Amino acid sequence: MPEDKTILLVEDQAIIALNQKMILRQQGYVVEHVSTGEDAVAYFATGRHADLVLMDIDLGEGIDGPEAARQILASHDVPLAFLSAHTEAEIVDRTEDITSYGYIVKHSGETVLIASIRMAFRLYETRQCLRVQEQRLRWITESMEDVFWVCSADDEQILYVNPAYEQVWGHSRESLYRNPRSFEEAIHPYDRARVSSSTSPEKTFRVIRPDNEQRWINTRILPVQDEKGVVVAHTGVARDVTREMRFKRELILRDRELNTILADISEIVWSARWPELEVLMVSPSIAQLTGHTTTEFFDDPALWLEVLHRDDHPLLAKVRTMIVERGTFTMECRICHSDGVIIRVLIKGRLIRDDDGVPVRVAGSVTALDPVPEVPVLPEADAGCHSDTYRNLLY
């Protein structure tokens, strides 16, 4: 470990300095010696290097050891340990605000001196590793589009928040550090009570920016625990989901529009998953034709097989062949109404592929060829198309 390590010894008493230099050099350290605080400051100011500084407190006339240490550490990152004969509490306390790499009492012996120096080096190397890790974490968080923050366990102090906060909330990070509650104060009044009463770690709500623009935010907060399981902090990530929420709302509006249109069309429009032929969407007029609601078809994927006349089941194999070979099919068959009436229908369908050309859906129509029995108007909950199903279709 001592190889190529240079120690700057700042000691005004020549005999003590000579003894300490001998001990350190016997351990393999390179030792540079100066006798005043001014010379110690000048040593670094002229660009010279040291891996560790051993600083005496009393240095005779001129600046003392603590003042020299302050000036050196103001511009240089170097481990510095005090070496002094003083053991008074007020003197030891005076050095704690300057550095924390050790306070070595003179005449403690060679073993204590060398052990203290090695501990100072290890502490410095550990801190350097932590700084590198912190810098890497900062690079990651400061390049994130999502907001990342760390707060105290009681949520009363923001310890860190990345720059994305300013882009999403529209407030400066400094304002959040000054007033951690401003994070919650920006929540839309309609959402505030719901958010504050929720115990879920994940929440979605709106915030109002200073320019009155509303943003939808999804947050997830996790506790940080020490080795005993005690919560010492909270970390959180907030993502701007405004575009997703607007898209979701647009899909809901499209569902309603399609419901309105399809409810007034006698011809039945349908969609099924390929190759399972599981019903994904069917228009409300299916109730007139079969006596079963759309909800029943969604809840029971095999219901359409029961509705199809038993003698026409063999046609399904031909339909699959036509879909595979042509991509379309036309089939005339019979439907069994729930009240026992048999109705001839014409079913048409076409294969739908995704962006990669993979078949994923079959969609088409059903036209009644015989008169359809009159049935009562279905409740609104059953008359519409399944919202999630329409989303699948639109996607």
pTM of the model: 0.51
Identify the band that residue 301 occupies on the pLDDT scale cut at 50, 70 and 90. Answer: confident
Domain locations in the chain as residue ranges: 6-139, 144-240, 249-394
Residue 57's pLDDT is what? 86
**Which residues are within 8 A (CB) of 39 and not within 5 positions of it... i.e. 6 or more apart?**
10
> 390 to each of 51, 270, 283, how far by Cα in Å?
69, 11, 11
**Mean pLDDT value of segment 56-63:** 87
Identify the band that residue 113 occupies on the pLDDT scale cut at 50, 70 and 90. Answer: confident
Residues 24, 31: contact at Cβ < 8 Å? Answer: yes
Radius of gyration over alpha carbons of the chain, in Å? 39
Residue 238's pLDDT is what? 94
Residue 266's pLDDT is what? 76
Whole-angstrom distance, CA of residue 316 vs CA of residue 329 = 11
pLDDT digits (tens, 9 = 90+) for 306-319: 999 999 999 999 99
pLDDT exceeds cutoff 80 at 376: no
For 179-225, where are the E strands, in sequence order? 202-208, 214-225
Residue 2's pLDDT is what? 59
> 36 to each of 39, 216, 291, 310, how far by Cα in Å?
5, 63, 102, 107
Identical fold, 144-240 and 249-394:
yes
Whole-angstrom distance, CA of residue 340 vs CA of residue 7 = 101
Q: Looking at per-residue confidence, does 279 or 255 come out higher?
A: 279
DSSP 8-class letter at 364? E
Residues 81, 122: contact at Cβ < 8 Å? Answer: no
Max CA distance (Å), the chain = 119
Residue 247: HSE in the Cβ half-sphere, 13 Å Cα cutoff:
7
Cα–chain-centroid distance for residue 244?
A: 17
Q: Looking at per-residue confidence, does 376 or 87 come out higher?
A: 87
Residue 43's pLDDT is what? 93
pLDDT digits (tens, 9 = 90+) for 162-187: 999 999 999 999 999 999 989 889 99
pLDDT exceeds cutoff 80 at 280: yes
The number of beta carbons lying within 10 Å of the beta carbon of residue 310 is 10
Residue 262's pLDDT is what? 73
Residue 375's pLDDT is what? 55
DSSP 8-class letter at 227? T
Percent of the chain's residues with pLDDT above 90: 50
**Mean pLDDT value of segment 286-313:** 91
> What CATH superfamily classification does 249-394 receive?
PAS domain (3.30.450.20)
**Which residues are within 8 A (CB) of 85 and not within 5 positions of it... i.e. 6 or more apart?**
105, 106, 107
Whole-angstrom distance, CA of residue 129 vs CA of residue 103 = 23
**Mean pLDDT value of segment 89-99:** 76
CATH number belonging to domain 6-139 = 3.40.50.2300
Residue 143: HSE in the Cβ half-sphere, 13 Å Cα cutoff:
6
Residue 113: HSE in the Cβ half-sphere, 13 Å Cα cutoff:
24
Domain 144-240 has CATH 3.30.450.20: yes
